[in-house]
């Protein structure tokens, strides 16, 4: 049993749940009151069922744990294996379609959006799911696969696929996920949590922009020469080229002047 799981079992379940619910107000401006959160937030429902089923799992009441987890999935559309270890103040926004595997380990103050998968990539029964350190934020639809570790305060862009370890404080985007330099984001909210997950770099767009700039430079160089200079090295190899290619027209003009 991990040290994190030991602490969870020793901590009052009611205290855990109160902290989980309080974290919703820190990360969702739509949350208005505790009753509304308890009765209408599927991410909270899923976490309540997991807190209960995980305790059963750790006490080797495996079938009861799986059945309770199954019931929670029917209610919330969030599939969390009871064996997964989840830290304090965990929040799943919207909830729909989230999958968390058996050996996944999630630290404190982690935020997941809908459609996130923490999946395995091995048939082995050992550690095969990811580890998310404290403060990690995973955007909608992202897939984090295999026995990898995301360092503290890592941010994963929406729909990214992460299959390698990520250092602390980095942002990952793309398929497969690549670590990119973090753009200057907005200010942290009053609770010290950065939810500006839309402020991520666009490495593909930057590469295309550089290519376009380079093309402009090359075209400017070509335009500074006459047509004859540009096509001086062209060889006419077919009748089509002779009639239609700029090089062919230059040659025909030269021949006309010579005659």
Tell me, what CATH number does 131's domain have?
Answer: 2.160.10.10
Going by C-beta distance under 8 Å and a sequence separation of 6 or more, which residues neighbour residue 257? none
Q: Is the peptide bond before 176 cis (omega within 30 degrees of 0)?
A: yes
Report, in angstroms and rounded to the nearest whole number, the Rg of the chain calculated over CA atoms: 28
Q: Are residues 123 and 51 in the same domain?
A: yes
Please report the pLDDT score of residue 254 as a whole number.
Answer: 54
Q: Are residues 97 and 223 in the same domain?
A: no
- The answer on pLDDT for 1 being more than 50 is no
Q: Are residues 191 and 249 in the same domain?
A: no
Task: Report the number of distinct structural domains present in the chain.
Answer: 2
Q: Are residues 226 and 154 in the same domain?
A: no
51 or 243, greater pLDDT:
51
Q: Are residues 85 and 18 in the same domain?
A: yes
Q: Could you tell me the pLDDT band of residue 157, with boundaries at 50, 70 and 90? A: confident
Please report the pLDDT score of residue 158 as a whole number.
Answer: 87
- State pLDDT tens for residues 2-40: 555 555 556 678 888 888 888 888 888 888 888 988 888
Q: Could you tell me the pLDDT band of residue 198, with boundaries at 50, 70 and 90? A: low
Q: Could you tell me the pLDDT band of residue 117, with boundaries at 50, 70 and 90? A: very high
Q: Tokens in use for 255?
A: 């021949």
- 155 touches 197 (CB < 8 A): yes
In the chain, pLDDT over 90 holds for what percent of residues? 29
Q: Which residue matches tokens 């590469």?
A: 207
- The answer on pLDDT for 253 being more than 90 is no
Q: Are residues 109 and 51 in the same domain?
A: yes
Q: Are residues 176 and 223 in the same domain?
A: no
Q: Are residues 109 and 188 in the same domain?
A: yes
| pTM metric for this prediction | 0.67
Please report the pLDDT score of residue 244 as a whole number.
Answer: 53
Q: Are residues 188 and 221 in the same domain?
A: no
- The answer on pLDDT for 241 being more than 60 is no
- The answer on pLDDT for 219 being more than 80 is no
- State pLDDT tens for residues 52-89: 999 999 999 999 999 999 998 998 899 999 999 999 99
Q: Nearest to residue 95, comparing CAs of 72, 77, 82?
A: 77
Q: Are residues 142 and 248 in the same domain?
A: no
Q: Are residues 115 and 226 in the same domain?
A: no
Q: Which of 152, 181, 200 is the last residue of a domain?
A: 200
Q: Which of 178, 200, 222 is the last residue of a domain?
A: 200
Q: Which domain holds residue 82?
A: 3-200
125 or 185, greater pLDDT:
125
d(CA 223, CA 11): 74
Q: Which of 181, 200, 219 is the last residue of a domain?
A: 200
Mean pLDDT of the chain: 79
Q: Are residues 195 and 220 in the same domain?
A: no
């Amino acid at each position: 049993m991990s040290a994190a799981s030991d602490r969870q079992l020793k901590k009052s379940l009611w205290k855990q749940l109160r902290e989980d619910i309080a974290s919703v107000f820190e990360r969702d401006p739509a949350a208005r009151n505790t009753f509304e959160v308890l009765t209408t937030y599927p991410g909270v429902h899923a976490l309540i069922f997991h807190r209960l089923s995980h305790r059963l799992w750790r006490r080797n009441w495996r079938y009861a744990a799986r059945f309770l987890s199954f019931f929670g999935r029917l209610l919330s559309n969030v599939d969390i294996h009871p064996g997964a270890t989840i830290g304090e103040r965990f929040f799943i926004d919207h909830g729909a379609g989230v999958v968390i595997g058996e050996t996944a380990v999630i630290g404190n103050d982690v935020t997941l959006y809908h459609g996130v998968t923490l999946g395995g990539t091995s048939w082995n029964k050992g550690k095969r799911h990811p580890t998310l350190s404290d403060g990690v934020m995973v955007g909608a639809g992202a897939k984090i696969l295999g026995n990898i570790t995301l360092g503290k305060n890592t941010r994963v862009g929406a729909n990214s696929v992460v299959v390698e370890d990520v250092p602390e404080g980095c942002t990952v985007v793309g398929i497969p996920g690549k670590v990119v330099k973090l753009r200057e984001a907005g200010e942290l909210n009053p609770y010290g949590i950065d939810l500006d997950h839309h402020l991520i770099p666009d490495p593909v767009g930057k590469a295309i922009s550089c290519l376009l700039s380079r093309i402009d430079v090359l075209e400017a160089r070509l335009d500074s020469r006459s047509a004859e200079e540009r096509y001086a090295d062209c060889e006419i190899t077919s009748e089509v080229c002779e009639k239609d290619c700029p090089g062919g027209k230059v040659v025909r003009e030269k021949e006309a002047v010579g005659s």
